[in-house]
Structure 1
Amino acid sequence: MRNLQSSQLTVGVLNNTLTEATALMKKLDTPKASLAKIELLVFLAALLLTCLTIWGSSRRRHIHPVLNNVLWAAYTLSSYLITYTIGLMTESSFRNDLFPVWAVFLLIFFSSSDSFSAYSLEDNEQWKNYAWQYLITNFALATLLVVYASPSPMFTGVVYLLMIVQVKVSERATSLRMASGYGLQSTTKLIADYMSSEHLLPNEPDPNQSDPNMTNPMRGYKYVVIGEEERRLGWNPYKWREEQAQARVEELTRRKPLEITDEVITVEKVWACKGSLLSSTGGDQDGKLKDICLSFSLYKLLSLRFGGYSLPKEAHEKTWKLIQHGLLANENGLERAFRVVELELSFLFDLFYTNYPVIFYPGRRKRKLMVFYFLVIGSLSIILFCFTWHYLKKPLDVVQLATPGGLNIDILVTTVSLVVFLCLEFAQLHFMNISDWAKVSLLCQYVRETSWHGNERIEKKIGRICRKSREPWERKLGQYSLLKSHGYAPSWWLSNGFTATYIDPPRDGQQQSEPIELSSVVKKAVLDSLILNHEELKNGKASLTQNNGVQLLWACGLKTQTRVIFAWHIATSICEHEVDIPTSIGEDEEKIARSNFVIATNLSKYLAYLAAFSPKLLPDHPFDAECAFNQIIFDTRDLLKGGRVINQGARLGHELLQPKGEEGGSELIWKVLADFWAEPMAYVAPSDDIKTHAEHLAKGGEFVTRGRWPLMATLGDPSQS
């Protein structure tokens, strides 16, 4: 009897729950509820577009997983949000004359922001999918326009705005195609052909040299900055189809090599410019303005690798001379080299993940400004019309949302969405005008227009724009300590069979230490090692031989590079706790010892961080590297229970500590370790794995991506010729 009563009670509770759920569903199925849902989705679209615009380019300046996840979510939700919301509008059982306005705004979101055209390299290869989504969305928009067609001023403004928005959508489609494999093959072909024989061009005296008593350090470097775009092989997105076909036939049948005309600006021309703005004794004493053009030229050389083109050995040797006798010729050569490389990679980032290469295509920038003005006029017209109807108390439709005080929520959502859009457009215009692409365009135009030389107003304006800059990348080093993090165990809710389907779960021992600032002594050590050993890169053997450490070479020949890294990492950790920096030596010697200590410990933990978190950047097979890391974690946990460390690291640490008691032994230990760790930094990241490095650019990049790789891949790697 008691069980029967319990069953009846359970059935009663279920019936009440179902009744309440049914009543709730009926409430949510009303026209006003559906309208509220649509307005909420439109507002969400405005919020997501704001995130992409404001933080789109910031992801390369901040290596933060939360920021990357937020941007990924905003980018991924866009297509589903647009399709679903427009579907609700077309299938609704009621009318609202603001539906076409909201649909156009969603199409604006579909075009994305100028600073965020793609999240990953794979998105660029899916440019056809984007085109099909755009086509399907247009069908839905056409349906709405037919249903709501009327002679009202607002409808006219919607159609006007829709026609302008098509240009924004086409910008993103063109950006995706240009950054795809096929697009890069087409757009880099002309530069590839030119650079394959550039080293054979005659090195004639430059009649434009501003000071005949000074030698142009870039004389003979006819590396193209801008001017070749109109002669590129293949499609041109801004010509009619017939012109494209005719131009392609002419190029394929009787294509002529690129000639350095007055319209083509080269690095040599930039350095030979007579204008005071670019003079080394005038407005560019630190060389930063000319280096902007140099970075853009080197970016074009780096993009050849992504187009599948290579250069002859002679071209690589010439670029290595540019490093040694150009970038590193002065006292500030170290900072200058890294500044040029970082800016070069920022251009590469923009190529893959923004609309800037399309916006700054010849003639395109003026068109961009025209579209901006038309969008502003159209948006303001619609906002004015909405407020006019509101204050005249003329309802836009029977079904609408309003507050008890009479505030029309429909008009509020429309106004807020369009105001947000206008603010973002103004922000994007500002970002465009101060971008590095704008700086290159202005500087090259200054070189070309001799009438600008001596014009103080123009020179001050260009100088003011080009001097404004932010650090293009976050200058930090990731850190990982095996001895501190080996006991880390991720929480169950982050690492289980269910979450593994959606995210990469953290592994045992995979706990990152706090990142540190990238110091100048670390950069100098890596660059010195790179220049010294660029012809034959090794994983530390050269430095050990130079420091009479032949007895330590066994630790460089372990089964995988991951094991080599962790063996030396453990040994360095032992020395960090056992070997103090001597203070009884001279001031200069102590400074050198402290620098070596910083180099050794920072790079030791950074390479261990790469092995733990970014195994794809190591020469080992990624899965082998992961397996090696997992095994090292298990071995460390087992061995440390008895007060010991991993045998290989312990043996190496013991051998390194042997000269500790000798005179100058502590200094020698840190010199050996500093020289050793600088060499693997120039070795571990293979420059031929261009895709992995480009993928890391979207996440803020790594020091190994921003330092060694572009120097080897762009400025020349004779070992790979």
Structure 2
Amino acid sequence: MGVIANITAEINSQRFQFIRIEALVLIGIVVLFLLLVLGWYRRQCSHEAVKIIVWGAYTVSYTLVSYTMGLMQSYHVGSSLFAVWAVCLMLILGNVDSLSAYSLHDNDNWKRIYIQQLVQSFWVGGLVDAYGESDFSIPLWILFIISMYTTSTLTRSFQSASKSYNLPRCTKWVADYMRYEHELENTVVPNPIHMHGYRYIVTGEHVETICQPPDYLFRFKPDETKLITVEQIWKCNAKLLHHQYRESSRLKDICLSMALSKMLKRRFAGFDLAESKLQKTHDFVFKGLLDSDNTYERAFRVIEVELGFVHDFFYTKYHVLFASHDERSSAIISPVLSLPFCLWLAYMLFQRFRAPQDEITVGRSSTRNDALVTMIIVLGIALLQLLQLYFYIASDWFKVYLISKYVTMPRWQSNEKIQKIIAFIVSWKSFRHWENKVGQYSLLHTFSCTRRKWNALCRRTAGLVEETRKGRAKKAIENLPNELKQAVINSLVRSSGRLTNGATSLRANRAEQFLWACTGLPTVTHTILIWHIATTLCDEALGARVGLGDRLPNECGDGREMRSHASVASTLSKYCAYLVAFEPKLLPDHSYDSTVIFDSLVDEASVLLAGDVSMQQRYRTLMSLDAGPEDKRLIMIGAQLGRQLMELVTDPALRWKILSEFWAEMMLYITPSSEATAHLETLTRGGEFITHLWTLLTHAGILDREDSYGTP
């Protein structure tokens, strides 16, 4: 009993309570630093662990900070370290520029988060007022005011991206402008290479306007509005944008990406894309981005940066920080201003650390070590301010701002020193915008997979851990091959925007005997899965896995070309199957229809291939079956198609060319979608290749597919 009494007394002691608060502060700071770092990283990583860590850190951050501050308020023995800790937590919470919202749902819940921020601000202010030692008071109050500003930008970022609040309002101006953009100076013949006639807005759209009859569109007045357009950027021949300057094309394309991101946001806000039927919209992609003098690389680079801007608008604070001159200035001034006060505060804490224990004045429960730990925390926050300032200046947003000012400031264009400074700043590098990889799934390899232990954990956590359905085991994601991008772009250029479900490529390769596997099927999901099974069987027949390597025979045709076709076909086949299994919302069919069809196919494979453990056994079983025309099971139809491909096309090089061009065409066919939100959600988990294609087709005016195009 004496031992228990001693333990109880120790737990209730002032020192233990102080250590408890200190530990929670350290945990809170670690959690917020994780949000800061992984907020950048999650856009380029699809790993499940990153997703779970970010979700956990975001979920507990506000609650943990509020709980810790509540303990400080209720602690009956004051300590000036409480005020320092509270301000530190508030500063970090407001400085997570890289992640303001974990999901789109958080933007619509901005009122709840706003109330939490108000409560925390009152608590921090109360702690600074109650425990802010006279020596600490000046830097603490300055840092508290700065933290109030940084947290207020969080609320504004939620409001701007909220579909129920401000998103329609801030997007309508661009939507209305694009209704009459083609009528401005209509004597100019659009040129998608030099961007003549493409007055897409880069900056300057935030102006006060009124709706006027008869169309009640928001219209700008040329004498009152300072718009910077893509056309103006391309017309500028100053040094930094002259074609002789090595980085000029990259800087112009970043501005183009910004303009395109403003146009793309209309899809997320539910506005029509009025320019989609214009010929110049079609030409912008097919004669501009995909011009014969360029390669696919430029098109994908522009789209990648564009989606980076879109991601930042919905999930970070950057669009708020660059919304106006005052915001841009404050975003630079606040870290610059907070840095000396952090160093001042750290110096005073160091003086407390050097003082003898009996002279410690920061609180009766405090020790010299507590002052040292707090000093390290404050120095860490000072470093954080420097990092945030670097990320801010190195961001594409700041590059767009500098180039836009450069275009409108003749004084900058004629000043060599200013141009050197701008050239130096725009050379700063930031993080990649997406993972540049594709998910892979092979049905015949993994249909028997059942994650019993994981699903048991799902039941024990009442669904907190997401259940994995039968047969769904992701293969290792693959780097996106350059030849795959080229194959898809070649297919797009050949089609000139007339998307078909593979029938066109089959006719072009004189493979009309396989048209039955493209037409007459109930859904696109049927077509994908049938051709996926057939491609897997052809892959197995050649002994070719994902890598392909030198195992492909070289005696028929050009071996290198065949390896390239096989790589494209195999990767696209597994990627489309991955979309069916894990991302059905991105496909044309209803997501639940795709899920039901896929689950049924998994059950069919489990019954038909029961007892077959190796892929070789499964291959032999499927190739030996001879089902009649009345057997409509997908696995049997896929096996039948695979046998026909190998029997009727005996040349492996031609077979893989047929499959490669089929999958490139099918990839484009399944891309158009009205599920804009589903594409937006992929940006936070590494991104999807289909989202980049969806964006590219959107800017070409291809918003949906015509059913008649898929028929022979």
Task: Settle same-fold status: TM greater than 0.5.
Answer: yes
1:497 match: secondary structure: helix
What does residue 140 of structure 2 align with? 158
| Alpha carbons 1:190, 1:231 under 8 Å: kept | no
| Alpha carbons 1:224, 1:297 under 8 Å: kept | yes
- The answer on 1:277 being equivalent to 2:240 is yes
What does residue 223 of structure 1 align with? 200
What does residue 644 of structure 2 align with? 655
Deviation at 1:629, TM superposition (A): 2.3
Amino acid at match of 1:578: A
| Alpha carbons 1:190, 1:258 under 8 Å: kept | no
1:160-175 equivalence runs, <5 A? 160-175=142-157
Amino acid at match of 1:615: P
What does residue 90 of structure 1 align with? 73
1:458-477 equivalence runs, <5 A? 458-469=418-429, 470-477=431-438
Deviation at 1:698, TM superposition (A): 0.7
| Alpha carbons 1:547, 1:672 under 8 Å: kept | yes
Deviation at 1:533, TM superposition (A): 4.0
| Alpha carbons 1:570, 1:649 under 8 Å: kept | yes
Q: Distance in 2 between matches of 1:494 and 1:260?
A: 64
Deviation at 1:392, TM superposition (A): 4.1
1:477 match: secondary structure: strand
What does residue 229 of structure 2 align with? 266
Match of 1:415 among 368, 375, 392: 375
Match of 1:376 among 318, 339, 360: 339
What does residue 627 of structure 2 align with? none
Q: Distance in 1 between matches of 2:306 and 2:407?
A: 20
What does residue 711 of structure 1 align with? 696
| Alpha carbons 2:240, 2:423 under 8 Å: kept | yes
What does residue 5 of structure 1 align with? none
Match of 1:329 among 275, 288, 291: 291
Aligned CA distance change for structure 1 residues 232 and 103 (closer, same or farther; 3 Å): farther
1:636-655 equivalence runs, <5 A? 636-641=605-610, 644-645=621-622, 646-655=635-644
Query: Structure 2 unaligned runs (5+)?
Result: 544-551, 612-617, 623-634, 707-712
- The answer on 1:519 being equivalent to 2:481 is yes
1:303-322 equivalence runs, <5 A? 303-312=265-274, 316-322=278-284
What does residue 699 of structure 1 align with? 685
| Alpha carbons 1:51, 1:71 under 8 Å: kept | yes
Q: Distance in 2 between matches of 1:497 and 1:617?
A: 28
Q: Distance in 1 between matches of 2:339 and 2:301?
A: 37
Deviation at 1:307, TM superposition (A): 2.2
Q: Distance in 1 between matches of 2:387 and 2:237?
A: 35
1:241-640 equivalence runs, <5 A? 256-257=219-220, 259=222, 263-284=226-247, 287-312=249-274, 316-363=278-325, 364-393=327-356, 394-397=359-362, 399-402=364-367, 408-469=368-429, 470-495=431-456, 496-499=458-461, 501-533=463-495, 535-556=497-518, 557-579=520-542, 583-584=554-555, 589-640=558-609
Deviation at 1:339, TM superposition (A): 0.5
| Alpha carbons 2:176, 2:219 under 8 Å: kept | no
Aligned CA distance change for structure 1 residues 474 and 114 (closer, same or farther; 3 Å): same
Q: Distance in 1 between matches of 2:580 and 2:681?
A: 17
Deviation at 1:547, TM superposition (A): 3.1
What does residue 709 of structure 2 align with? none
Q: Distance in 2 between matches of 1:21 and 1:652?
A: 75
Amino acid at match of 1:539: N
Q: Deviations over 1:569-603 (max 9, x none)?
A: 110011112248553456xx444322221111110
Q: Deviations over 1:429-464 (max 9, x none)?
A: 001111111111111112111223354433333334
Deviation at 1:678, TM superposition (A): 1.1
1:516 match: secondary structure: strand
Q: Deviations over 1:117-171 (max 9, x none)?
A: 1111111111111111112223333443454366x13133322221221100111
Q: Distance in 1 between matches of 2:336 and 2:434?
A: 32
Q: Distance in 2 between matches of 1:72 and 1:565?
A: 33
Aligned CA distance change for structure 1 residues 278 and 87 (closer, same or farther; 3 Å): same
Q: Distance in 2 between matches of 1:720 and 1:566?
A: 20
Q: Deviations over 1:277-302 (max 9, x none)?
A: 211233446x2221111111111110
Aligned CA distance change for structure 1 residues 313 and 110 (closer, same or farther; 3 Å): closer
Amino acid at match of 1:488: C
Aligned CA distance change for structure 1 residues 657 and 361 (closer, same or farther; 3 Å): same
Q: Deviations over 1:520-570 (max 9, x none)?
A: 221122223334446543332333343333332332343443332221111
Deviation at 1:497, TM superposition (A): 1.6
What does residue 614 of structure 2 align with? none
Aligned CA distance change for structure 1 residues 52 and 456 (closer, same or farther; 3 Å): same
Q: Distance in 1 between matches of 2:216 and 2:541?
A: 71
Q: Distance in 1 between matches of 2:662 and 2:412?
A: 52
Amino acid at match of 1:45: G
| Alpha carbons 1:53, 1:424 under 8 Å: kept | no
Deviation at 1:315, TM superposition (A): 5.5
Aligned CA distance change for structure 1 residues 384 and 140 (closer, same or farther; 3 Å): same
Deviates more, 1:571-580 or 1:22-31: 22-31
2:293 match: secondary structure: coil
Deviates more, 1:608-617 or 1:489-498: 489-498
Deviates more, 1:216-225 or 1:306-315: 306-315
Aligned CA distance change for structure 1 residues 386 and 313 (closer, same or farther; 3 Å): closer
1:113 match: secondary structure: coil
What does residue 659 of structure 2 align with? 673
Amino acid at match of 1:527: I
Q: Deviations over 1:308-340 (max 9, x none)?
A: 211225655322211111112243331100010
- The answer on 1:40 being equivalent to 2:23 is yes
What does residue 123 of structure 1 align with? 106
Count of aligned pairs between the two proteins = 669
| Alpha carbons 1:534, 1:717 under 8 Å: kept | no
- Percent identity reads 36
1:96-245 equivalence runs, <5 A? 96-148=79-131, 152-181=134-163, 182-203=165-186, 217-231=194-208
| Alpha carbons 1:115, 1:355 under 8 Å: kept | yes
Q: Deviations over 1:646-700 (max 9, x none)?
A: 3111111011112343xxx322211221111112211224431110110110111
Q: Distance in 2 between matches of 1:420 and 1:65?
A: 29
Aligned CA distance change for structure 1 residues 255 and 583 (closer, same or farther; 3 Å): closer
| Alpha carbons 2:568, 2:660 under 8 Å: kept | yes
1:196 match: secondary structure: helix
Aligned CA distance change for structure 1 residues 284 and 423 (closer, same or farther; 3 Å): closer
Aligned CA distance change for structure 1 residues 676 and 255 (closer, same or farther; 3 Å): closer
Q: Distance in 1 between matches of 2:700 and 2:95?
A: 34
| Alpha carbons 2:83, 2:132 under 8 Å: kept | no
Q: Distance in 2 between matches of 1:137 and 1:174?
A: 17
| Alpha carbons 1:52, 1:112 under 8 Å: kept | no
Amino acid at match of 1:518: L
Q: Distance in 2 between matches of 1:284 and 1:160?
A: 41
What does residue 632 of structure 2 align with? none
Aligned CA distance change for structure 1 residues 669 and 205 (closer, same or farther; 3 Å): closer
Q: Distance in 2 between matches of 1:154 and 1:397?
A: 10
Aligned CA distance change for structure 1 residues 175 and 314 (closer, same or farther; 3 Å): closer
Q: Distance in 2 between matches of 1:534 and 1:599?
A: 21
What does residue 10 of structure 1 align with? none
2:291 match: secondary structure: coil
